[in-house]
Each structure stands twice: as C-alpha cells, then as structure tokens.
Amino acid sequence: MEKRALFSSKILPYMLLLPQLAITLIFFYWPASQAVWQSFLLEDAFGLSSEFVGFENYRHLFQQPEYYRAMVTTAVFSSAVAVLSLAVSLLLATQADKQLRFSNGYKTLLIWPYAVAPAIAGVLWIFMFHPTLGTLSRPIKAIGIDWNPMLDANHAMTLLVLSATWKQISYNFLFFLAGLQSIPKSVIEAAAIDGSGPIRRFWTIIFPLLSPTTFFLIVVNIVYVFFDTFGIIDAVTGGGPAGQTTTLVYKVYADGRLGGDLGGSAAQSVILMIIVIGLTAIQFKYVERRVQY
C-alpha cells in the first residue's frame, strides 16, 4: 500500500518538514561541519587567532604514539565489553526464557541498570572498588591481590570493563530474550525428539537462529563502548593512570578541553565520525536485510 499524503498547497509539506530539518541541521550538520572546518585550523594558546593549516593537525595526530595507544586501548576495551556483555546477557536471557516462577520480576530487575546514567554507574563502581575506600577492595586485597586501579593500568581497565559491561547487559538481555522468544517452540521440541541434548541444541539450533540479533548487538555494543562510556571513564579513572585508559573519545575531550588543542581534537572527532559512518553502513547493509540463515 502506498502511504502518500496529498497536499493542495506546495508550501505546506515543507513547512511540516521544517522543524525536523531545523533540528537536524542545527544540532547535527552544523556542529559536524564546524568540527571538520576546525580540524583544518590551528588556534593560538589564548584562542585569539587561528590560521588555516590544511592537514597539519592530522599529520601531527598520526605522529603521536599516544594516539596509537588510545586506539589499542579502545580496541581492547570495546572488544572486552562487547564479548563479556553479550556472553553474560545471553546466559541470563536463556535462563529467563525458561519461564520459571518470578521470571517477570527477574526480567524487570535486570532491566534497571540501563536506566542508570553512565557517570552515576561509574561512581557506584568506584565506591565499591576504590583502593582505600571501596567496600569490595578489602576482600580482594584479603585474597592476596594488591588491588589498586589508581596505579595499575590492568586493574583500571578491568574495573572499566566491568562497569561498562554491567550497564550494557540490560540492553543486550532485552534483545536476546526477544530473540529467544521468537524461536518457535516446536523447533526446539523437534530438536529434542531428534536426540539433541540441551547444550548441543543450544549451539546447533538456538545460537544460529539468534545470529541476526547477535550481529545487531555486536554493532550496537561497539558503538556504545566507543561513544557512550565517556561518563564511566571520566568517573572511574579519568583516563588514567598515566593515560592508560584513555580511549579515542576520551582523548578528544582530554586534548580539546583539558589540553586546549581544539584543532587536534577536531581532527580526532572527524576520524571518529568516519568510524561511526562505517559501522552504521555495515549495520544497514547486513542487519537491515538480516543475517541470512
């Protein structure tokens, strides 16, 4: 069926589109184009003048070892969070799908962390794992680990991965549960009659049938870890110790706001923008027409 509205006036349809177009232009395209323009400028330390330097900011960026380190950090961080949160939420979803008693309450409780703001989530986790104040640091030290996320980069990364994962599990859980519930029960029963035990059934039937959901979530999770974990990083480690947990997004903030290098920061934003466009393109290409099985 064709969904087409007919207007007698030629101006009215444009008037109706105007609010949406205005929002998109003012809040999306204008800042984006500003970032692109700024990435070609070099500003003096006091922000009084700026000069056009072409690709100088980009050249400088790719000469910094810190930038490559931030790339590695981002890759490690995002893959760890994506793998961990997908695995845990899939496990929780398969349990919730068993339709036990209180499963509704269980589902509701699992969804709550998603409503917690990233910065608050970060604060909650640092409360628990602060080297001297944290309630859970004491038992960790008691088992012989010299726990200190303020000094040890691995500890800091572990803490970030845990808090970012904790927040993302709810979202993944909802999608996995919906995915599981859309698998016809009779297919599972047919597999049971066909002599496939619960574990084999999961890997040969359920997991392949969930692949569209899994693929969608992988892309969404990577985008989440890239861009939405700023609050958590800022609250938990502030990019430290010694820049060891500075991701690409956090570096944009650190260089631009704290370092005052607006041009370099803008260049980094443009690179991030290209990455997001790439990820979105992949998502549209594969997820929109579903993973074929």
Stretch that binds another protein, among 104-112, 161-169, 179-187, 271-279 (CB under 8 A): 179-187
CA–CA distance, 242 with 91 (Å, rounded to integer): 36
Shortest reach from residue 203's CB to another protein, in Å: 12
CA–CA distance, 206 with 186 (Å, rounded to integer): 12
Classified as helix, coil or strand, 55 is: coil
290 binds another protein (CB under 8 A): no
208 binds another protein (CB under 8 A): yes
Give the x-and-dash track for 53-72 against another protein (CB under 8 A): --------------------
Using CA atoms in the order 226, 228, 229, 235, what is the torsion angle rounded to 10 degrees?
150
* CB nearer to another protein: pick between 142 and 199: 199
194 binds another protein (CB under 8 A): yes
Number of residues that bind another protein (CB under 8 A): 19
Over the Cα atoms of the chain, what is R_g? 24
Going 64 to 69 to 70 to 72, the CA torsion angle's sign is positive
**Contact predicate 57/234, CB 8 Å:** no
Question: Which two structure tokens, joined as six digits, stand for 40?
Answer: 């070609």
293 binds another protein (CB under 8 A): yes
Q: Is the peptide bond before 241 cis (omega within 30 degrees of 0)?
A: yes
197 binds another protein (CB under 8 A): yes
Of 18, 22, 190, 277, the residue at the interface with another protein (CB under 8 A) is 190
Of 204, 273, 281, 290, the residue at the interface with another protein (CB under 8 A) is 204
Shortest reach from residue 184's CB to another protein, in Å: 6
According to DSSP, the residues that pair with 42 across neighbouring strands are 51
184 binds another protein (CB under 8 A): yes
Residue type, 35: A
**Contact predicate 272/226, CB 8 Å:** yes
* CB nearer to another protein: pick between 105 and 195: 195
CA–CA distance, 229 with 251 (Å, rounded to integer): 12
Of 189, 203, 258, 278, the residue at the interface with another protein (CB under 8 A) is 189
> Which residues sit at the interface with another protein, rule CB under 8 A?
184, 186-187, 189-197, 200, 204-205, 208-209, 211, 293
